[in-house]
Structure 1
Amino acid sequence: MMKRSFVGKPTWWRPATTEIQISPIREFVIRCSNHDIHGAISAMDILQTLHIRADPLVYSSLIKSCIEARDIHSGRRVHRHLFDSDGNIPATFLINQVLGMYVRFQRVEEARQVFDVMPEKNVVSWTTMISAYTNMKRGRMGLELFVMMGRSGVMPNMYTFSSVLRASDGLETVSMIHCPIVKVGLDSDVFVRSSLIDVYAKWGDLQSGFYVFDEMPTRDLVVWNSIISGYAQDGNGHVALDLYSKMRRAGFPANQGALTSVLRACTGLTLLEMGRQVHTHSIKFLTDLILNNALLDMYCKCGSSEDATCLFDRMVEKDIISWSTMISGLAQNGRNVEALELFDRMPLKPNYITMVGVLFACSHAGLVEKGWRHFNSISNPGREHYGCMVDLLGRAGKLDDAVKFIKEMNCEKDVVIWKSLLSSCRVHKDVELAGIVGRRILELNPDEEGAHILLSNTYADSQQWEKVREVRWEMKARGVKKEPGCSWIEVGNRIETFIVGGSSTRTHQEMESVSKEVVRLIDRVTNEGGYIPDTSFVLHDVEVEQKKESLKYHSEKLAVAFGLMMLGKDKDIRVIKNLRICGDCHNFVKLVAMVERRKIVIRDAVRFHHFQHGVCSCGDYW
């Protein structure tokens, strides 16, 4: 046999000693890759010039360094060196690292090119690509790959199922994926079970999500977080809070995820006291931005802008969500000037939501010129921005300008826009325009309850009872029912509800006590505050005395009276109402706050009203 010649080759390129002699170069490349990626790539190029292939450890270190340095160009060079012209096929784990690198750089098409030419694909290869498509919101491609994976005979693992579940496009797809999960025995895996709960909640089937949760004898914190989050996001706040209590009793600590979900539930239910209790559990996560933003949102939407301001001032880190939440929160709580001052101090570029809050503040402060200036600064205004401007012009009585503005809008003129104008027509008693706008709304949506109610109330305000009867007859013919006025108040750990006319969750005997308290308050504010019932807010063609009697049983009056009876003098009275507060009740509550020396907060369908010392935070401009 002829001896192989090594003439012209370096002494360390001898096959018998390759692994020993090449180790100094390998160590040099690895050492460079840790602090000088370009030096490491240059060393790799030398190896390539000498037709030397480094061992897998070198390439693995280089790929990791490219990712850490966020250097896609160097990463591509390592990729090319791995697949050199000599026809070498790298180990599967190295190709998977290249796949992962392209995915981290969001180069999913380049990753797919690598994936398609892989001679051998394992579960990591398939899962990496499925996860990449899912994260890029290309769920259909992820699902197609999952089907191909099954046909190739590769068994999915927990990470595969977690990724493909997020790619699902409906309950039918979720059910199809759920079956193989059970078949391969991964239905007891914490992450798979958590993903199942998340997607069932996403597609509105919380019952199935709860079954998945309930089937697990030993629950994990991740699974608890998923089910609590599902109910909180679906608007089932009471269930979310109940599950949170059970989780704590089961000995699980509250982490950021659970606390954020519970705060969302408190926000939806406007449970300020419960939210404050959750805040005490959040102290150990003082620097968590997501949790702090959830706390800010809770305080703003529960009517405690003072607590929100204190928290905002203490926050070490603030993002655009923090600033937008605070600006909108101040505006909704009647602190419009402060909201605009905060916007002027904001060091970040405003986004869509920020500008909605700014325009809301201008609208509720009656700042027409400033509102125009801010609106014109928006490069691409959206429907909510247009809606705020219609509301701003309408509130200010500039109804003709509002009509002209709507006609010139660059977006669809939907029911919400027209309802805003109709509401202003009622405030400014423009019955003729109200009739035109109301009919326009009913052309768009004949079953729109709010339009029927606003139109009927506008006619009632001007005592056009025949037209009121026409609108109500039309409502009856279409099966449109008016939502009754309803108010609720948190006392202890219970929510007490009151409905206009005297209905309540309380017993008949207790309601008699509440009615007596209302009478006592009316007598007191009449004698001490000069209260005169404003019967124009009774929208029925009845005698004056009947109208006065009707006003007594507005739901917010009943809730306020109950709060004064049940809560200590150190507690604020906080009432939530499903509709806008009427003018008579607004005046009544201002006087009650004055004579009883109490702070009363009422959140109606639009904003918060903070009553104290005989004035309201809205400045009677709502």
Structure 2
Amino acid sequence: MKPSRLNQHNFFFLLREASASAAPRRRLPPLHSLLVKLGLQPYARVHNALIQAYAAAAPGLLADARKVFDGMSSRDTVSYNSMIHAYATSGDVTSARHIFDRAPERTPVTWTSMIAGLCRTGDVAAARRLFEEMPARDLVSWNAMMSGLVGNGRHAEALHLFRRMMAEEDGGLVPNRGTVLSALAACAGAGALETGKWVHAFVERKRLFRWWDEFLGTALLDMYAKCGAVELALDVFNRLRRRNTCTWNAMINGLAMNGYSAKALDMFHRMEIDGTVVPDEVTFVGVLLACSHGGFVEVGREHFYMIEKKYGVGLILEHYACMVDLLARSGHPQEAHRIIAGMPMKPDAVIWRALLGGCRLHKDVKMAETAISEMEATCSGDHVLLSNLYAAVGRCNGVEDVRSMMRNKGIEKVPGCSSIEINGSIHEFISGDKSHPSYNEIRGKLAEIGSRMQLHGYVTETAEVFYDVEEEEKEEALCHHSEKLAIAFGLIESPPNVAIRIVKNLRFCADCHKFANCSKEDNTNITVVPATRKMALVTLPDTQNENRVRIPLRCII
């Protein structure tokens, strides 16, 4: 095209093509020079398009975008919004805030760009303050704040915001697919099954969902699976008319993490027979997770060594972590260690933590010490695992050594936190915390359950608790664990025939696991629990020190 025939519209098209190309650094500057030659500089729209093009090629060309912005003789709202968005998406929230404060007029887009940027860098508190300061919020603003909360693991807060938004629906706000996806992700993270069911009913009532919509259907079945409602997840899966790879992966992983190992492997075989989608890395995370939870050592070995050969899928850290977890928990720690030694990439903390969990289960102190030394652990949970192992085998000196090491490194034990949904509200319990309004009733219910269970042979598992206190004090300490507080509250507040679902941030201790299993598997031992009541325990991975999503390694013994 001849330069004389270029106009604004042609220039916008060329900018979009250049910024989306494989070499924007080489193509954008000549276009910028051409803009000057053609005398298109006075037009704010052209400069805004240039800022957006440079920003889309960021971070390398972000400084060029700022030069264009600073050189503009006249800036409009789009100019400020484009620059704020450019800085925010690149993670430079300080520069974004500087432009934000200078903006003569702030539209909802201006505020939302700043909120999204703050959430992206993890400063959710600052994002929430801005959100509350907004003079007027649109649907995009609500969605950005909810998505930011979910992305930073603040699921209960995201649900509270969703309820606020729904209360303002009469003001013209109608949730869209983005709203629903964030709400379902929050329900999955918080274990809020009843709220998730309400969201499902809402989207069907508003006709936001059709059974051929595999994307929303995947989010629904993923929510149900993560809340422990496997039958509801399967119902959604079976009713979907179209399924993509993510749909199959969500169902395979959902079955695996809920302990339905054989069904998860059957689902994988169904996926192969179906033939419409191809397994990927996430598929085999679910397959190996199913083998780990089911203790299928030979099946796990077969799949692990065939992932690359048969399916052409490269092995990733999560595959190694699942295999190490399977072998270590099945009594093969040496083989697990050999796999770690042969990894083509550096093993991370999750790999060593998988080995450490198996060592704890089989009381392999030597291998546990190797795992701790190799992983250079800074997470309190890793040290606590080793300390508990020392306590279980009677090595009191080892317990004290671990405690001293934690004190010297300034590592504090992360308190256990369990949550339960009652009548649409999320109640959180911290281990040792007595601040809940119903604490006295909870305490009474625990005493009642404990005495009845002891009559039927229940013995408190105190082996891993403080070695230097009396047995009675150990039992008292275990009684304040967050999952027991949540279970007792659920028994008090929920009606009969309703499942109790507990979400916990850390691993269950041996006693709490035994306590819950007694309640779940032998209801005749607890007469206060009707024989028809079911109890489902939903556990989440400990991601306190991980910014990326990791595999849900087994949290229960």
TM-score strictly above 0.5: yes
1:120 pairs with one of 26, 39, 53: 39
Corresponding residue of 1:236: 154
Find the aligned partners of 1:200 and 1:467 in 2 and give their Cα distance: 43
Worse overlay, 455-464 or 558-567: 558-567
Cα distance between partner residues in 2 of 1:493 and 1:475: 39
Aligned pairs for 1:84-483 (under 5 A) are 88-100=4-16, 108=24, 113-118=30-35, 119-121=38-40, 122-136=43-57, 138-153=58-73, 155-158=75-78, 161-162=81-82, 165-168=85-88, 169=90, 170-180=92-102, 182-183=103-104, 185=105, 187-188=106-107, 190-250=108-168, 251=170, 252-283=173-204, 284-287=207-210, 288-346=213-271, 347-376=276-305, 377-378=307-308, 379-441=313-375, 444-445=376-377, 447-483=378-414
| One-letter amino acid matched to 1:285 | L
Cα distance, 1:276 vs structure 2: 1.6
**SS class of match (1:139):** coil
The amino acid of 2:34's aligned partner reads: V
RMSD: 3.3
**Secondary structure of 1:310 counterpart:** helix
- Is 1:514 matched with 2:433? no
Task: Please state how far the C-alpha of 1:428 moved relative to its aligned partner.
Answer: 1.0
1:572 corresponds, among 495, 499, 520, to 499
1:389 Cα deviation from its structure 2 partner: 1.6
> Which residue in the other structure is 2:513 paired with?
586
Match of 1:602 among 537, 547, 552: 537
Question: Displacement of 1:402 after TM fit?
Answer: 1.2
Contact 1:131 1:160 in 2 (8 A): no
Distance 1:103 1:495, change over 3 A: closer
* 1:486, distance to aligned residue in structure 2 (A): 4.1
C-alpha distance after superposition, 1:513-540 (max 9, x if no partner): 22333235414xx43xx54444445452
Cα distance, 1:173 vs. partner? 1.9
Deviations 1:267-298 (A, max 9, x none): 22222212221222221211354433332332
CA contact (8 A) 2:391 2:467 kept: yes
Structure-1 separation of matches of 2:79 and 2:203: 30
Extract unaligned runs of 5+ from structure 1. Answer: 1-81, 608-617
CA distance in 1, matches of 2:415, 2:69: 56
Shift of 1:406: 1.4
1:318 match: secondary structure: coil
Secondary structure of 1:516's partner?
Answer: helix
Between the aligned residues of both structures, percent identity stands at 33
In structure 2, the partner of 1:13 is none
Q: Partners in 1 of 2:409 and 2:62 — Cα distance?
A: 46
Highest relative contact order (Cα 8 Å, sep 6+), 1 or 2? 2
- Given that residues 162 and 191 in structure 1 are in contact (C-alpha distance below 8 angstroms), is that contact kept between their aligned partners in structure 2? no
Match of 1:601, as an amino acid? A
- The answer to whether the Cα contact below 8 Å between 1:166 and 1:199 also exists between their aligned partners in 2 is no
In structure 2, what is the Cα distance between the partners aligned to 1:491 and 1:256? 26
Distance in 1 separating the partners of 2:321 and 2:17: 45
CA distance in 2, matches of 1:107, 1:123: 25
> Which has the higher mean CA deviation after the structures are superposed, 456-465 or 192-201?
192-201
Partner of 2:548: none
Write the distance in 2 (CA, Å) between the matches of 1:97 and 1:221: 29
Work out which of the residue numbers 420, 423, 436 in structure 2 matches 1:505: 436
Distance 1:540 1:318, change over 3 A: same
SS in 1 for 2:407: helix
Question: Quick check: 2:87–2:95 contact (8 Å CA) kept in 1?
Answer: no
- In the TM superposition, residue 576 of structure 1 has moved relative to its aligned partner by 2.2
Letter aligned with residue 171 of structure 1: V
Amino acid at match of 2:65: L
TM-score relative to the length of structure 1: 0.74
Aligned residues: 516
In the TM superposition, residue 401 of structure 1 has moved relative to its aligned partner by: 0.7
After superposition, the Cα gap between the structure-2 partners of 1:313 and 1:419, relative to the gap in structure 1 and judged at 3 Å, is: same
How far apart are the structure 1 equivalents of 2:135 and 2:147?
20
Rounded to whole Å, the distance in 2 between the matches of 1:552 and 1:164 is 51
In 2: Cα distance, 1:219 partner to 1:318 partner: 35
Q: Give SS of 1:488's match.
A: strand
Deviation at 1:400, TM superposition (A): 1.0
Q: Residues 457 and 468 of structure 1 are in contact (CA less than 8 Å); yes or no, is this contact kept in structure 2?
A: yes
Deviates more, 1:90-99 or 1:464-473: 90-99
Residue deviations 1:471-493 (CA, integer Å, cap 9, x gap): 22333344433334443322224
**Deviation sequence 1:502-521 (CA, Å, 0-9, x none):** 84614453244223332354
8 Å contact from structure 1 (residues 518, 557) kept in 2: no
